[in-house]
Structure 1
Amino acid sequence: MPVDALLFDKDGTLFDFAQTWNTWAAEVLNTLSRGDHAAKVGMARVISYDLDRSAFNADSLVIAGSNDEVAELLSPFVAHMDLPELTAFLAQSAATADLSPAVPLAAFLDDLLARGKVLGVMTNDSEISAKSQLERAGVLDRFAFVAGCDSGHGAKPDPDPLLAFCKAAGVAPERTAMVGDSLHDLIAGAAAGMRRIGVLTGMATAADLQDHADVVLPNIGHIPAWLDA
């Protein structure tokens, strides 16, 4: 069945996860710990971030979890902020993170639009962060729908935010592809009745994704060739 629409995850899909978020996390941990080494170590432990490598481990909840979930993990170590303040801080900080697009995004998205595809983004990050990052990357206007975990549709792996995209864009789930780098993305896509495209610009391996995807690609830049095939 043809694919009329593509719904993209953001981190690890449109943007390379490690190149974008490893450095950001180091800065956030330094800021939140305020020089308290024990607090920094504790925060790194609960989000599975390796301080020696300055890199997330593959099992980190941050990879696919929501902004709210990350804030709840960090909150016991951040006495100077309550949970709503910490959640807002993480969202605002993420919105200004240095971005590393997985491919030149404008040209890639324009090609899909020229093929008549409807495009959307659904991320477990906050909506304000997603829109800020897409705007800074110069591609926000390419998307008919952008939602985060706080947009009122729920969060992946639930299918509801994916179905919200279909409703907003006027496309059928079975003619839509969910594109993502994590099992959360692909499980949500399956539950929504969508095609599933896995990409390897996150922390998951091909072996992790292959049983849950129709195809696993090195990055989103390979999607046009897959559509042609």
Structure 2
Amino acid sequence: MATIKGILFDKDGTLVDFHATWFAVADQLALRAAAGDRAKADALLDLVGYDFEARGFRPNSIFAAGTNAEIVAAWFPDTPDAARQDILADFDEFILRENMATPVELPGIKQTLHDLHSAGLRMAVATNDSTRSAERTLSALGIAQLFEAAYGYDAVAYPKPAPDTVQAFCDLTGLKPSQLAMVGDNRHDLEMAKAGGVGLAIGVLSGTGSRETLEPLADVILGSIAELPAYLAGRS
């Protein structure tokens, strides 16, 4: 097996508690899109993957795994492209202002990331959120210095599940895809890993994905990234 020298991490559900961080902002965005109509807002939330009975976002739904642009496209299907871009810019700014200043971290991530960084692993974030939002999140959590880059949907030509982010990180670090691990809680994360030829695709159960949804694409499934240092040490 190839030696892993770099790791790409998904953000929401992998580093950040997805439901605790995102439900409030999703609800506010839906209400904005519905001009305050509660029933319409609930219908919009259902459209992008919120399960009101389970009180959580469905695995691999638009909100759980897609980009902000995909959410806007789902909510405003008949809006012309230029106007939709304005709505997207408004959504990105709203998320940046209202939510990303206070992300809820998953247990153990700081020590885990410090341990991996100290071991010499090169790390970056690959998210379908915006790049500015990802950078703000890392700063708010006090872990930005551990990452060489944050790649949002707007940092590459084609975001997850396309392999562009894998290539961008390889270009930055000089590493080969086979020397990278990709860690994420959704199929989009693991599909990007496979498309990019990543050496190790790791699914985590700390987000919206389940063992059943992740297992077909994952080389290994961990409970959370807190298990990652020990797992990687056991491979060497």
Same fold (TM over 0.5): yes
Does the 8 Å contact 1:119/1:145 carry over to 2? yes
Match of 2:26 in 1: 25
Which AA in structure 1 matches 2:220? V
* Separation in 2, partners of 1:188, 1:114: 26
* Separation in 2, partners of 1:53, 1:197: 26
Deviation of the 1:42 alpha carbon = 3.3
Secondary structure in 1 matching 2:124: strand
Match of 1:128 among 128, 132, 136: 132
Which AA in structure 2 matches 1:201? S
Does the 8 Å contact 2:59/2:186 carry over to 1? no
Alignment of 1:77-156 (within 5 A): 82-95=83-96, 96-97=98-99, 98-156=102-160
What TM-score comes out, normalization by structure 2 length? Answer: 0.88
Secondary structure in 2 matching 1:216: strand
In the alignment, is residue 171 of structure 1 matched against residue 175 of structure 2? yes
Q: How high is the sequence identity, in percent, across the aligned residues?
A: 33
Does the 8 Å contact 1:145/1:169 carry over to 2? no
**Against the structure 1 CA distance between its residues 31 and 77, is the aligned structure 2 distance closer, same or farther, given a 3 Å change threshold?**
farther
* Separation in 1, partners of 2:84, 2:154: 15
Secondary structure in 2 matching 1:227: helix
Deviations 1:20-45 (A, max 9, x none): 21222122223333322343133123
What TM-score comes out, normalization by structure 1 length? Answer: 0.90
Match of 2:195 among 168, 191, 197: 191
Deviation of the 1:190 alpha carbon = 1.1
Secondary structure in 1 matching 2:125: strand
**Against the structure 1 CA distance between its residues 192 and 58, is the aligned structure 2 distance closer, same or farther, given a 3 Å change threshold?**
closer
* Separation in 1, partners of 2:176, 2:16: 26
Secondary structure in 2 matching 1:63: helix
Greater Cα offset, 161-170 or 42-51: 42-51
Does the 8 Å contact 2:161/2:189 carry over to 1? yes
How many residues of Structure 1 are paired with residues of Structure 2 in the alignment? 228
Match of 2:233 in 1: 228
Match of 1:2 in 2: 3
In the alignment, is residue 49 of structure 1 matched against residue 54 of structure 2? no
Secondary structure in 2 matching 1:120: strand
* Separation in 2, partners of 1:2, 1:147: 23
Deviation of the 1:165 alpha carbon = 0.7
Secondary structure in 1 matching 2:69: helix
Which AA in structure 2 matches 1:119? M
Deviation of the 1:210 alpha carbon = 1.4
Gaps of 5+ in 2: none
Greater Cα offset, 118-127 or 30-39: 30-39
* Separation in 2, partners of 1:200, 1:128: 26
Deviation of the 1:51 alpha carbon = 4.8
Does the 8 Å contact 2:27/2:45 carry over to 1? no
* Separation in 2, partners of 1:173, 1:59: 24
Gaps of 5+ in 1: none
Deviations 1:186-226 (A, max 9, x none): 11101211111100112111121112111100111110010
* Separation in 1, partners of 2:91, 2:179: 35
* Separation in 2, partners of 1:54, 1:86: 27
Q: How big is the alpha-carbon RMSD for the aligned residues of Structure 1 and Structure 2?
A: 2.2
Secondary structure in 2 matching 1:83: helix
Secondary structure in 2 matching 1:211: coil
